[in-house]
Amino acid sequence: MKHLIATIVLTVAAQTVFAQQPIYLDESKNIEERIEDALNRMTLDEKIAVIHAQSKFSSAGIKRLGFPDFWTDDGPHGVRPDVLWDEWEQAGQTNDSCAAFPALSCLAATWNPQMARLYGESLGEEALYRNKAMILGPGVNIYRTPLNGRNFEYMGEDPWLASRMVVPYVQGLQSKGVAACVKHYALNNDEDFRHQVNVIVDDRTLHEIYLPAFRAAVTEGHAWGIMGAYNLYRNQHNCHNEILLNQILKRDWQFDGVVVSDWGGTHNTEEAIKNGLDLEFGTWTDGLTMGKTNAYDNYYLADAYKRLIREGKYTERELNDKVRRVLRLFFRTTMNKHKGYGFLCSESHYEVARSIAEEGIVLLKNDKVKTKKNGAAMSLLPLRLDDAKRILVVGENAIKMMTVGGGSSSLKAQFEILPLDGLRKAIGNKVEIDYARGYVGDTVQSYNGVTVGRSLYETRTADVLRNEAVEKAKGADYVIFFGGLNKSDFQDCEGHDRKQYGLPYGQDELVEALLTVNKKLVFVNISGNAVAMPWMSRVPAIVQGWFLGSETGEALANVLLGIVNPSGKLPFTWHAALNDVPAHRLNAYPGIWRTQHDIIDEEYKEGLFVGYRGVDKFKTKPLFAFGHGLSYTSFSLGKAIADKSEMTREDKISFTLSVTNTGSCAGSEVVQLYVSDVKSSLPRPLKELKAFKKVFLQPGETQNVTLTIDVDALSFYDDSKQNWVAEPGDFVALIGTSSDHLTSKVKFKLR
């Protein structure tokens, strides 16, 4: 009897445990098994509910089965403040400020993948604390034209550099249990008419220039999400594009994550069903009109899809694939019990933000000028305080917050140290710091509900402001001009491109006027894009200051004062004129409107020859080359030696050279390796970046640097074979410190 009771008790207990622990909740089970189990329990309504939004930034979980709602947020430089459920306006929370990290163009300029890892991890911790399961970023669209208003959100012009930086960002973020959503896949390389542009590009260029960073994010970074772009490719919107999504992303790259539409990037139910879209967000429409509120059931992947299944036009085959992916995403994020709780605005996050800012700032130019003390000629930077009584700071960007504005990447930073404040804090009262605004660009007091820190209200005319700056510049020991672009419309801002290459708001005239009274001028360009600099040869020191996030002023002051030795390198070519940019030279931007159609065909006529590849082909002379960046110390590179003269397809080949810090302060140098294919069956760029390494050296220190490549670095995409090929023959490795300063040339053969 006792035995029987025990058996009954045990059986009931086992059943209870079983009932409490279905396979999908059993963490000891394989994730694919859990997905199948959950899928089998879902109703059609539940399946449809998880593949489209339920608010501006969330989609539904499966309440009945214990899956919480899924929250996304921008991206990519910090966690965006909350907006209302169904509106773009701020929700007015008091706990949604964040640490703002430098823009991705700055991250790319560090040429330091470890920084990208730290970036991803820190952002992941902030996202966790804010209960966001997916960050809408990073962005890896290629810098094709300096007019693209969103280049600041991306990682430059080179597919290899962007690939090496995106992988650790994605891994760092996802190591915290927060999904990346790599964007905007693909060919979203300008903003004007982004909903209408149909990109025409040959397969080689697509695979060699525009896809590698996405591919690396997927195949190496194992990104859990990717965002379809607004534009079209081969006449089909990229959020439901058969070639880009079904064939390349899901079949060739074996992407097992979720394709998220860009907000309002879905246009057609049947294409969305068949062509790889998994999660629809931001559609403003009821299918016909714009501006409906709470129209989520009218989304392309909502009622319309359900109807087609009920009518028998589609089975649940495609739907189940989408739902499996969404469930996989849930298990990786919201259902991951082992992820932490995260934390926000911590000292560690600010330290990461500052380190990235300091490593990304690029010293473009630093000529010698005569010093006051003994008349000796010395580089203008770093600033020498013992030789100075008064420093004049000029420019609106010295007092303008840049974490606010620019579109969807706009943040509500807990703080942002402005350049003027950073300098004042670092210099204290050792030297007088005077300020003159010099020009007015922007007087906006708030952006989407976030107040801009310092009042930019101004009533004085441009002439008055310029004259004041020139007057104050007379006799100043240094004039530091913080100019460049800003995050206003038609500047560095989503939705529109810049209208011109030149600096806005009369800054060129102001530079010229300042030069007439003071030659000790430092121009700090705040932007995510190159700008024309007609005065370049006459301004002794130029610094690329990006958009640096919360620690802007601190990082800039540290570099200007030499507390930090700059080591950033340009992630794009700084062309002298817009017409030197291959896309503009060939009249291949912004495309041609189709008569009577709402479509603009943009043919990438320059093909592979983007950025420095174009410089080599068209023999133009940029103001500053891709990979360029100076330091306060100097380095000398020894001759590189290869570990073999011939390699096979299975081999790797390594090049070793010594790098010595020959100057008087510690600093970092980036050793860059470009490959040149001596003879190939298809035309190739003269050289292409294939490896790089950043080394830190004390004064007088020498280190050996080894750069290793394999057959992939020698391959090109053969469109006739629809595959990558490496042709046997001669190659040259060109090694140096920028694309226009390559001091070692080593020949080798592929057998």
* Catalytic residue ranges: 262
Which residue, 412 or 472, has its beta carbon nearer to ligand BGC? 412
CB of 193 to ligand BGC, least distance (A): 14
CB of 75 to ligand BGC, least distance (A): 6
Handedness of CA 285, 289, 290, 291 (dihedral sign): negative
Element (H, E) at 392: strand 390-394
- List the structure tokens of 554: 């601190």
HEC readout, 620-678: CCCCECCCCCECCCCEEECCCEECCCEECCCCEEEEEEEEEECCCCCEEEEEEEEEEEC
CB of 239 to ligand BGC, least distance (A): 11
Alpha helices in 230-316 (DSSP H): 269-274, 303-310
Cβ atoms of 448 and 90 closer than 8 Å: yes
Which residue, 138 or 360, has its beta carbon nearer to ligand BGC? 138
For residue 166, count other CB atoms closer than 10 A to its CB. 34
Q: How far apart are CA 557 and CA 101, in angstroms?
A: 17
Which residue, 74 or 551, has its beta carbon nearer to ligand BGC? 74
Query: Residue 506 — left, alpha, or beta (φ > 0 → left; ψ -120 to 50 → alpha)?
Result: left
CB of 71 to ligand BGC, least distance (A): 13
Q: What is the Rg, in whole angstroms, of the alpha carbon atoms belonging to the chain?
A: 27
Which residue, 160 or 299, has its beta carbon nearer to ligand BGC? 299
Which residue, 406 or 736, has its beta carbon nearer to ligand BGC? 406
CB of 732 to ligand BGC, least distance (A): 40
Cβ atoms of 624 and 739 closer than 8 Å: no
Give the chain's end-to-end CA distance (angstroms, integer). Answer: 81
CB of 390 to ligand BGC, least distance (A): 44
CB of 217 to ligand BGC, least distance (A): 15
Cβ atoms of 585 and 613 closer than 8 Å: no
Which residue, 81 or 545, has its beta carbon nearer to ligand BGC? 81
- Looking at residue 413, the DSSP 8-state letter turns out to be B
Which residue, 225 or 685, has its beta carbon nearer to ligand BGC? 225
HEC readout, 436-486: ECCCCCCCCCEECCEECCCCCCCCCCHHHHHHHHHHHHCCCCEEEEEEECC
Cβ atoms of 651 and 642 closer than 8 Å: no
For residue 672, give every residue at least 6 positions away whose Cβ sits within 8 Å of its Cβ, in sequence order, or none. Answer: 569, 627, 689, 691, 692, 735, 736, 737, 738, 739, 742
CB of 136 to ligand BGC, least distance (A): 4
Interhelix angle 347-360/113-129, rounded to 10 degrees, is 150
Residues that bind ligand BGC (CB under 6 A): 74-75, 136, 183, 262-263, 408
Q: Counting runs of H as helices and runs of E as strands, what totals does the chain give?
A: 18, 32
Q: 409-443 as b/e, with b when 16 or more CB fall inside 10 Å?
A: bbbbbbebbbbbbbbbebbeeebebebbbbbbbbe
Which residue, 75 or 438, has its beta carbon nearer to ligand BGC? 75
CB of 626 to ligand BGC, least distance (A): 25
Which residue, 265 or 419, has its beta carbon nearer to ligand BGC? 265
Q: How far apart are CA 215 and CA 220, in angstroms?
A: 8
Element (H, E) at 125: helix 113-129
Residue 209: name the closest of 738, 611, 726 by CA: 611
SS3 call for 232: strand
- List the structure tokens of 635: 């380095």
- List the structure tokens of 388: 């100075």
Q: How far apart are CA 482 and CA 287, in angstroms?
A: 47
Q: How many CA atoms lie within 13 A of 1 on its CB side?
A: 0
- List the structure tokens of 718: 């053969």
CB of 311 to ligand BGC, least distance (A): 32
CB of 584 to ligand BGC, least distance (A): 24
Which residue, 111 or 281, has its beta carbon nearer to ligand BGC? 281
CB of 181 to ligand BGC, least distance (A): 8
Which residue, 98 or 556, has its beta carbon nearer to ligand BGC? 98
Parallel, antiparallel, or unpaired for β 236-237 and 641-642? unpaired
Which residue, 180 or 557, has its beta carbon nearer to ligand BGC? 180
Element (H, E) at 394: strand 390-394
